[in-house]
Amino acid sequence: MLLVDSNEERSAPELVTLLKQSVQVVSTALNNAHMSDYFFSNYEGKTFQFSRKQAGELLGNIDEAERQLADYYEQAIVNCQIVEGIISPIRFKGIEVESHGNNRVSVREIGSTIYGYRIHPNGQLSGHSFNGVTASMYYAWRHRLFMAGIPTYETLNYAETARLLITIYKNEQKPPEEHTTLQRVIIPRLQLREAEPFMKALIFIGHAYKLDIGEKKASALAEKFVNIADLAMASVEDICCEGIGKQTASKILVALRGQI
């Protein structure tokens, strides 16, 4: 199940529609809960969240983008940023560009301009120029985010953003043994079960669906199941445990897979 912030459904309905064609999507107020725009758990219960920004939106206020990333950081094990559009120090010929000053960045380099281009559904480009932030500043900022454990994915438009999210979501639902990238290079490590992120996911799902799952019930479920996928494949009888009866167990299954 992929959780999507309700603001994204209003501002990017086409993107959310594409997501719904491939994965189960639930719209909820993620940002109000200090979580990023897109959130899900993988096969092992590890949590992922993605912040989405338009190129021009990001360049217009990098400080605000960083503040949001810092605010959401503790809510998932893996944090990522998606930048939609093209960011370039080069002005493309024949493309309409709207000029902006930028008085909301912490550090400035004088004498350079950077451009953020948006690719519209019909293939046309429009751009914004910013003279208060430079390419070197942007590259350095992205590098420091990467060093802090926040990689940046670049997509051309909302359709590619949807494709990226769907691909990563489905890839993360596979068991570890099905992943073969760098298999002969990466040294195998002992994978310990992390109950706390799983419990957080259970509590959040309980809040989203009004299932009355608090810390005690979440802890009981975390003792019986490894992750969300494991729980979703269980029966009503399997889910029944301390404080969780058949009615609540049925509601949990309906929330996770749409039916019992």
Give the predicted TM-score (pTM) of the model: 0.66
d(CA 251, CA 259): 9
Model pLDDT for residues 30-77, shown as the tens digit of each residue: 999 999 999 999 988 899 999 999 998 998 889 999 999 999 999 999
Sorted by where each begins, the domain ranges of the chain are 2-87+135-172, 195-257
Residue 185 pLDDT grade (very low, low, confident, very high; cuts 50, 70, 90): low
Query: Tokens 């019986």 belong to which residue?
Result: 224
Question: Hey, what CATH topology would domain 2-87+135-172 get?
Answer: Rossmann fold (3.40.50)
CB atoms under 10 Å from CB of 164, counted, come to 18
Q: Check whether 207 has a pLDDT greater than 50.
A: yes
The strand pair at 78-84 and 47-54 is best described as: parallel
**Contact between 47 and 118 (Cβ < 8 Å):** no
Instruction: Write out the two tokens for 91.
Output: 């002005």
Topology of domain 195-257, CATH: DNA polymerase; domain 1 (1.10.150)
| Beta strand 78-84 pairing with 152-155 | parallel
Least confident interval from 32-41, 180-189, 226-235: 180-189
